[in-house]
Structure 1
Amino acid sequence: MSDAGPKNGDNSDTTDVPFSFMPSPDDMQHWTSVIGRAQQMMLEYAQTQAEGTNGAAALFDPAKWLDNPASQLWAEQTSKMWEQGVAFWTSLATLNPAMAPAAPAEAPKDRRFADPDWTQNPAFALIRQTYGLLSDQLLATTRQLPGLDDAARAKLEFAAKNMADALAPTNLALTNPEVLKRAVETRGESLLKGLKHMLADLARGQLSHVDPDAFEVGVNIATTPGKVIHETELYQLIHYAPTTPDVLAVPLVIFPPWINRFYILDLNPAKSFVAWAVEQGLSVFMVSWKSADASMKDIVWDDYIAAQVDAIDTVRDVLDVPAVHAIGYCVAGTTLAATLAMLSAKGAAERVKSATFFTAQVDFEHAGELKMFVDDGYLALLEQLSAPGYLDGRYMAATFNSLRGRDLIWNYVVSNYLLGNDYPPFDLLYWNGDTTNLPAKWHRQYLVDLYRDNRLVVPNSLSACGTPIDLGKIKTPAFIQAGREDHIAPLASVWRLMDHLAGPKTFLLAGSGHIAGVVNPPAAGKYQYWTGDSNAASLDDFVAGASETKGSWWPHWIEWIRAQDSAEIPAKGARIPGKGAKKAIEDAPGRYVKQR
């Protein structure tokens, strides 16, 4: 690799411009081999696709987002800005690089531009500044367009932000100095490896964040010992083995979101909420939802509510107890609220001793960016994509990734495809890519009735299993946890649970977001949480008077659980998985979580 570069100026005042982006003549033969192997890879991929592809279609049609009176003006101005930008970048070929300005020292930190060449090499410094200028202008133009309502403006801003992220010079090999240097250092092997990653992802129809073969459910992930003791066509019920001589008399039933695999709460022994809860003396039961297939095309809202009631009653019968503690995470927390309202209407509220809501919403007025995915255009597209009776989970994964496109899409495009890096062995990212299919009818119902029309908070507007429901009738003690940086269930939205439930409520604000804010084991010593006046009139009032505690909020929660009922019994008989009225069907984590 040569460090020599062009010199500018006269003999008395010369400036060396680093130019380490060209392969040496000695490496050209190897580069020829790399090109040949790349061509062979692409040929083999094309042949495979010709025989039948399983790649996912585009998630959405961006044109649907711009379906408003201002779209033509916005598109025209955007086009002009990027045309000017391309022309400006092209002009670099005739510029004296030494005359280009360096990036200003006060520029905000951006991990995409961490490589020193973005500031030290004049050409790349100019590219960076030009990109920053154009992306800022694009966002400013979007915000200033007249005649838009709040929903239309939010869609345009979201589209503009994603466009700006997609067009970053870091996403292209020829305008990313780190990629160019890596290619030269590896004699092209990094690009070849990146191409292999890209073709593999195209074949599976999904961007990979980790090596798909790095983890195996039940082997090195989701390993807490237990047994599946009950199953229906919609879910399996796992009973985990106790690790303490005595257990709390009231057991715990966990309802994870059916849009993800349950083992986010059981990643590994060090991170597992399940294993930790067992260690605290809880008899823990977990619902493992089945990934939808064509046989589930008629599954609706009532079916998930009925499944929650069935799980609660199964645990009560197996352990011969009057009530359970229940946890509902995300969308399962939304449904848990409906379940509690139905039980209350039927005079059966005593079956649930307490309800804990992990980042759950019932009032969707402030539900954040996900509300952009409930207009008529998007719903029509979902209907097309769900023709088999279910929505392929890869579409939902792409939706969530797009909410943080810079971190969850383009960061990995650069790392995996352009730099050819090895995949990190990260269990959380493996879980994030382990998608779950959704029943089409229920998914549409959820988006329309809850996200779009916000009917759950209107008394008796919705029914559960034939019973009109009113959240204001729920008097079950509730523990409500929210994430300060949650972009899936925003803090302001989760707080609304405090306004709609009638029983005693405890609110806790956790540091971080939708996942790390929940999965934060005490041993990690990370983040913090805030507690305060749960009778505060507003979220602002709660935050103003809240006290911060470093570390995990889990110990605070278990104290609250014990305050509901501290009675203990020996961990024997039916408290051992498979030893009660329900015999073991198979070992945890069961079949359903492994089905694709």
Structure 2
Amino acid sequence: MSDTARPAAVAQWSEAMQRAGAAMLSLAKSPPTPAASRPWDPAPILQSMLGAMADWASRPQDLFKLQTQAMGEWADFWAATFRGQGAEQPIARGDRRFTDPQWAEDPAYRTLRDAYLLASRQLRQLNDQTAGEGPGKTMLNFLVESYLNAVAPSNFPLTNPEAARRTVETGGANLVAGFANLLEDAASGRGIVRRRTDPDAFKKGETIAATPGSVVFQNRLFQLIQYDPTTPDVAAEPMLYVPPLVNRYYMIDLKPKASMVRWLVEQGRTVFVISWVNPGEAQRDADVSAYVTEGVIEALGAVERATGRTGTDLFGFCLGGTLIAIALAYLAAKGEAERANSATLIGSMVDFGDMRDWSAFVHEAHLDALDEHTAKRGYIHADELQQLFSAVRANDLIWSSVVNHYLLDRPAPPSDLLYWFEDGARIPAAFLKSYNRELLYNNRLREPAAFKVVDVPIDLGAIRTPILSIALKDDHVSAWDAVYRGARLFGGDVTFLLGGSGHNAGVINPPAANKHGFWRNPDMPESADEWLAGAEKLPGSWWPTWNEWLGAHGSAERVPAREVGEGALPAIEPAPGSYALADQ
């Protein structure tokens, strides 16, 4: 360290030690208390591991063959390394752990990286050849990936080149400050690795979720927001957005340049949005049926009263789209299908036969443990849901934060999408039980009349409402081919689009950004692969194509812009409303 850098390092050390001391005192005063119960059961995890061990013990010849192959690969690797030729291993597309130039330029770091990648490939190969299918095998896959993510050399200060440089530059103050960050997160009682983005960078209603509008209706489950028009006339058909329960509604109303709500209003659409309540003890009995009838159907009725018009364009994301599909079947069974003019389902599943990594959690023992856990207080906490989502995307949502926050002491950058992601919400116990058991575990939506809303049988094949199903190519929550298979269950006119990017980022793709691209194919062949093979890839955002589809399935009638409160529903309070502003 140079003499000029020494005073700065001393100041960093002093600040870091003060923060660490304060964090220790805070943690000592209010240590985190262990949970009385877990929302998962450790038994299936142990069973999957023991099952893998028993399988390989019963096939020693196959295990010996893999071991021999692995020994040969390691011999080739080290021979090439010692000759100075290197033995570079392929890095997965989008793997940001090894982007620092030293991983490629420094022989020691390059060898460490490639040895890790080779070992990872071999362990995955061993796992792939382990006998068995179903949740047990999926759980084993999850355990293997979790282990490989955790032991990556990028996660440790001595084997991460950027962390090593930072430690030299600060004289180790970054590690002391990172330890203080760890203690502060532990003292918060909400778990570690919380600060993925700057929590003070945005303020709801001012810099995010700030499109002008008002709450015009509310009940125990939701508030309904109507947005102010910006055009002199609007499409006759109003729009109603149904969000998922796990996060607040405003993923579609981030900062203005990324706001889908603002963009739709500017296209001359009357936009209404459901803002779900953050449920507590009072909503513990609200199951899937309640969220369909008291939620989607009641919101639809409020839109009809506010606009004086029947025939609403519904759109929803993820679980919100699943609720819309159930609501459409409910309306069809009740002879009220005309109340929905069209429906757009974005990243939404109705056939849960293939849930990929999520199948590891759809296990009867886990569901029993979750039921017992949520029965104590009537809901599952947002932090527990965040931990589940983070575990499935550990490199992006856990280990990158470990590196940035605990090793580098790097301030969390402002991100409107991550701010929304971390603003989670609780889910009632009754909803989780009915959704997990009936839809995820038993996949009852796939079979006509196997699932009921109150006493009304749900048949997706009876839906004749025009549907636009939009999947995302790199979606880790709703795999795009699974979304496609579900779209084929609807009985009416179905159009399928495939957007680029992932579950969240692929949705928030304003035309001005000109990112990601999308695929379009007017046909609906039996398999998703056939659909993609015949699809045309187009550049930019799918939003304008969606707007064209809405126009093609509308009346083409224009009416004077609808001012909030001019209809049967007066304004209650400004958007985003008290439900969205409530704490977790």
Provide TM-score, normalisation by structure 1.
0.86
Q: Does 1:373 align with 2:361?
A: yes
Q: CA deviation digits over 1:359-389, x for unaligned, max 9?
A: 1111111222212211123223323432211
Return the offset for 1:253: 0.6
Counterpart position of 1:88: none
Match for 2:388 among 392, 396, 399?
399
Q: CA deviation digits over 1:541-573, x for unaligned, max 9?
A: 22122111111111111111111224444435x
Q: Does 1:288 align with 2:272?
A: no
- CA–CA distance in 2 between the matches of 1:349 and 1:486? 31
Counterpart position of 2:340: 352
- CA–CA distance in 2 between the matches of 1:466 and 1:586? 35
Q: Does 1:426 align with 2:411?
A: no
Residue identity matched to 1:47? A
Q: CA deviation digits over 1:97-119, x for unaligned, max 9?
A: x9796753464375323334445
Counterpart position of 2:167: 183
Match for 2:446 among 457, 464, 471?
457
Counterpart position of 1:108: 91
In structure 2, do the counterparts of structure 1 residues 120 and 485 end up closer, same or farther at CA, with 3 Å as the change threshold?
closer
Are the aligned partners of 1:533 and 1:545 in contact in 2 as well (CA < 8 Å)? no
Are the aligned partners of 1:265 and 1:519 in contact in 2 as well (CA < 8 Å)? yes
SS at match of 1:67: helix
Q: Does 1:466 align with 2:447?
A: no
Are the aligned partners of 2:20 and 2:180 in contact in 1 as well (CA < 8 Å)? no
Residue identity matched to 1:515? N
Q: Which moved more, 1:197-206 or 1:178-187?
A: 197-206
In structure 2, do the counterparts of structure 1 residues 41 and 428 end up closer, same or farther at CA, with 3 Å as the change threshold?
same
Counterpart position of 2:76: none
Residue identity matched to 2:18? R
Match for 2:229 among 242, 246, 251?
242
Q: Does 1:143 align with 2:132?
A: no
In structure 2, do the counterparts of structure 1 residues 125 and 518 end up closer, same or farther at CA, with 3 Å as the change threshold?
closer
Instruction: Write the mapping of 1:88-237 to structure 2, written as runs, cut at 5 A.
Output: 103-105=86-88, 107-108=90-91, 110-146=95-131, 148-202=132-186, 203-206=188-191, 207-237=194-224
Q: CA deviation digits over 1:467-493, x for unaligned, max 9?
A: 111111100111111111111111111
Q: CA RMSD for the aligned pairs?
A: 2.9
Q: Does 1:415 align with 2:404?
A: yes
- CA–CA distance in 2 between the matches of 1:74 and 1:396? 33
SS at match of 1:413: helix
Match for 1:581 among 568, 577, 581?
568
- CA–CA distance in 1 between the matches of 2:378 and 2:231? 45
Which aligned segments of 4 or more residues in structure 1 are displaced greater than 4 angstroms? 23-36, 52-63, 71-76, 98-103, 119-123
Match for 2:25 among 44, 55, 58?
44
Are the aligned partners of 1:38 and 1:195 in contact in 2 as well (CA < 8 Å)? no
Higher CA-based Rg? 1
In structure 2, do the counterparts of structure 1 residues 548 and 356 end up closer, same or farther at CA, with 3 Å as the change threshold?
same
Are the aligned partners of 1:34 and 1:192 in contact in 2 as well (CA < 8 Å)? no
Name the count of aligned residue pairs: 553
Q: CA deviation digits over 1:79-126, x for unaligned, max 9?
A: xxxxxxxxxxxxxxxxxxx97967534643753233344455554444
In structure 2, do the counterparts of structure 1 residues 480 and 111 end up closer, same or farther at CA, with 3 Å as the change threshold?
closer
Counterpart position of 1:15: none
Counterpart position of 1:310: 298
Question: How much identity, in percent, do the aligned residues show?
Answer: 37
Return the offset for 1:397: 1.4
- CA–CA distance in 1 between the matches of 2:86 and 2:21? 41
- CA–CA distance in 2 between the matches of 1:216 and 1:55? 32
Q: CA deviation digits over 1:326-376, x for unaligned, max 9?
A: 112111111111111111111110111111111111111122221221112
Q: CA deviation digits over 1:282-309, x for unaligned, max 9?
A: 1100000011112111111111111111
In structure 2, do the counterparts of structure 1 residues 122 and 287 end up closer, same or farther at CA, with 3 Å as the change threshold?
same
For structure 1, the 5+ residue unaligned runs are 3-22, 77-97
- CA–CA distance in 2 between the matches of 1:152 and 1:232? 42
Match for 1:529 among 518, 540, 544?
518
For structure 2, the 5+ residue unaligned runs are 58-80
Provide TM-score, normalisation by structure 2.
0.88
In structure 2, do the counterparts of structure 1 residues 506 and 399 end up closer, same or farther at CA, with 3 Å as the change threshold?
same
- CA–CA distance in 2 between the matches of 1:25 and 1:314? 66
Q: Does 1:571 align with 2:560?
A: yes
Return the offset for 1:539: 2.1
Are the aligned partners of 2:135 and 2:360 in contact in 1 as well (CA < 8 Å)? yes
- CA–CA distance in 1 between the matches of 2:105 and 2:43? 39
Counterpart position of 1:257: 244
Match for 2:308 among 312, 320, 326?
320
Residue identity matched to 1:37? Q
Q: Does 1:272 align with 2:259?
A: yes
Residue identity matched to 2:157? A
Instruction: Write the mapping of 1:68-83 to structure 2, written as runs, cut at 5 A.
Output: 68=48, 69-73=50-54
Are the aligned partners of 1:249 and 1:569 in contact in 2 as well (CA < 8 Å)? yes
In structure 2, do the counterparts of structure 1 residues 393 and 320 end up closer, same or farther at CA, with 3 Å as the change threshold?
same
Higher relative contact order (CA 8 A, sep 6+): 2
Return the offset for 1:535: 3.7
Q: CA deviation digits over 1:559-594, x for unaligned, max 9?
A: 11111224444435xx21122211111000001011
Residue identity matched to 2:551? R
